[in-house]
Structure 1
């Protein structure tokens, strides 16, 4: 009876890592080739064309916008902020926010599953079998999974692709990842979409949108407040644990 060849053993591992390899390659190519195209200047130059398409066929325009946004998020391409603002520019505050959240959540799900299928399985198995520091990390994550996932979405300093990949690599539940992503990105989506609603007036003045608005106290304050609220269960558990000791 012959033993399996090294090639046959290696093939499943290659297949597991293939989605992440594809994402990394597309992200690299996109960063090098699309940086000058997915910009507000491109949006300004194609303003009338896009508005015409929207007015003539709203449904297909909405579906096309969502599909492009999903690809941007799933492959970590440049232009996510431009896409979010474009949602408000084309569809208004309510529909734009809805489309932005739906597209960003779907793209996040895609990259989560790709990471979980590859490295995530190996790292999760390692966490399950570990004691010591890794074991404490595993238990802490399980006890505070919802709070941690919401914090990843609400804290402005956490890059979106990090908040997509990290949960997959440490074994969080997929259903928890999905609903906390959809809920946690709503505040930021509303802000970006709101900027897009006034984009036409900005273009008319010959200006570009000022995304530094996101760091203004009246915007950053509520986001940090929501972050503190999400972190409160972790703090309460930590305090109770010390008292029991």
Structure 2
């Protein structure tokens, strides 16, 4: 084991560019995609191609599933615009159960990919520096490690936290891979259900000549349960803080 670690360290010293290449590629593709794909990954594009997509789904269901998951994976892994459109499309094409399943699968795989890319390069360097630091930064990292699962769940459940931030930040501070995967797969289910549910009724919205109203996400009946789950995720942190102050 020690010899393997030494080999990894030697490889990292010899090929520092290779360690940072995946994250650099993601940043480059994300920047290009932000300017070139915004007009294509939209509800207007979905409206114009709805009949063709439904016909292809009915004729080649397995191929449609594979293509959908692959495209959604690329959108998330490279932080491209259109993640919300993809989630709604999952409900439109596959219904609430299968749509949610495929949405969660694709988004989770994409999140894992960007997490690994960030951790492989910049994340290792930053995590090592935080471990070696003193003072406030060290306390923050120790506090995060102590409450890792709760904090990661909060990042997934609080709607104000952008999805790409919840993918990148954990990698940069050295959270455990298994905890990231667990909280990602479970933590995105509530939001995925909401987006998929909007997609289920998308056909009727298009028939009226309208576009999906994503402001529904901020309606009390939607946001209240998400905030409730966020409070539940934060509860262990609050309990530990109270016990620490009281010396329990």
TM-score, scaled to structure 1? 0.95
- CA RMSD after TM alignment: 1.4
1:165 corresponds to: 168
Cα distance in 2 between the residues matched to 1:231 and 1:31: 34
The verdict on how the C-alpha distance between 1:9 and 1:105 changes in structure 2, with shifts beyond 3 A counting, is: closer
Cα distance in 1 between the residues matched to 2:114 and 2:105: 15
**Match 1:76 to one of 70, 76, 79:** 79
Q: How big is each residue's C-alpha offset from its partner over 1:112-152, in whole Å with a ceiling of 9 and x where there is no partner?
A: 00000011001111122222112211210111000000000
Paired residue total: 238
1:236 corresponds to: 239
The verdict on how the C-alpha distance between 1:199 and 1:126 changes in structure 2, with shifts beyond 3 A counting, is: same
Residue aligned with 2:224, SS = helix
Q: Report 1:8-47 matches (<5 A).
A: 12-47=15-50
2:92 corresponds to: 89
Cα distance in 2 between the residues matched to 1:90 and 1:48: 11
1:124 corresponds to: 127
2:114 corresponds to: 111
Structure 1 runs of 4+ with >4 Å offset: 8-11
Q: How big is each residue's C-alpha offset from its partner over 1:77-114, in whole Å with a ceiling of 9 and x where there is no partner?
A: 00000000000000000000000000000000000000
Cα distance in 2 between the residues matched to 1:143 and 1:113: 21
**Match 1:214 to one of 209, 214, 217:** 217
1:189 corresponds to: 192
**Match 2:137 to one of 134, 138, 149:** 134
Q: Which runs of no fewer than 5 residues in structure 2 stay unpaired? A: 1-10
Q: How big is each residue's C-alpha offset from its partner over 1:205-236, in whole Å with a ceiling of 9 and x where there is no partner?
A: 11100000000000000000000000000000
1:3 corresponds to: none
Q: Report 1:134-153 matches (<5 A).
A: 134-153=137-156
Cα distance in 1 between the residues matched to 2:68 and 2:160: 26
Residue aligned with 1:207, SS = coil
The Cα of 1:11 is off from its aligned counterpart by: 5.8
